Amino acid sequence: MAADVRVICAIGRSGQLGLNGHLPWEGNPGRPFVEDVERFFEISRGHVLVAGPTTIGAVPDFARETRTLVTIRSHEDPREVLSRFPDRVVFIGGGPKVWDVYAPFVRHWDVNVLPYDGEADRWFDPAWLLAGGAARRG
């Protein structure tokens, strides 16, 4: 069976995703922010996390041994990457350029909107949510 391809991401109220290589709200001790990170590592435990170099580099040590981490580069074919993991749940971890390419393969989007209104240099694109349908319609 083909991989079950999913995304879990968190965005600010305007779609903020990242800032200077980190989560824009990193270090904020507020409950929604802390719970969001805990939930990500809980749900993705035991599964495959495929992402760009910056995103994989930000995975904390405690989470590295409890999931399969795969750093992808732009020359790689997404179909070939996904074909390495038949029967596995594969989370596509971003960043945006990665989601641009992998969105057509994603079956399940889990998007948590956090109470953040500050700046960002990486943004969520709502078109990703419909990319799978567009691909299926041809």
Residues near ligand NAP (CB under 6 A) are 9-10, 17-19, 21-23, 51-55, 72-74, 76, 78, 93-98, 101, 122
Q: Which is nearer to ligand NAP, 1 or 134 (CB)?
A: 134
CB of 88 to ligand NAP, least distance (A): 18
CB of 55 to ligand NAP, least distance (A): 3
CB of 77 to ligand NAP, least distance (A): 8
Residue 5: C-alpha distances to residues 28, 50, 86, 88, 102 (Å): 30, 10, 10, 8, 9
Q: Which is nearer to ligand NAP, 1 or 27 (CB)?
A: 27
- Measured between alpha carbons, how far is 125 from 58 in angstroms, rounded to an integer? 22
Cis peptide leading into 95, omega within 30 of 0?
Answer: yes
Q: Which is nearer to ligand NAP, 1 or 22 (CB)?
A: 22
* Residue 110 parent element (H or E): strand 108-113
- Measured between alpha carbons, how far is 101 from 91 in angstroms, rounded to an integer? 14
Q: Which is nearer to ligand NAP, 4 or 33 (CB)?
A: 33
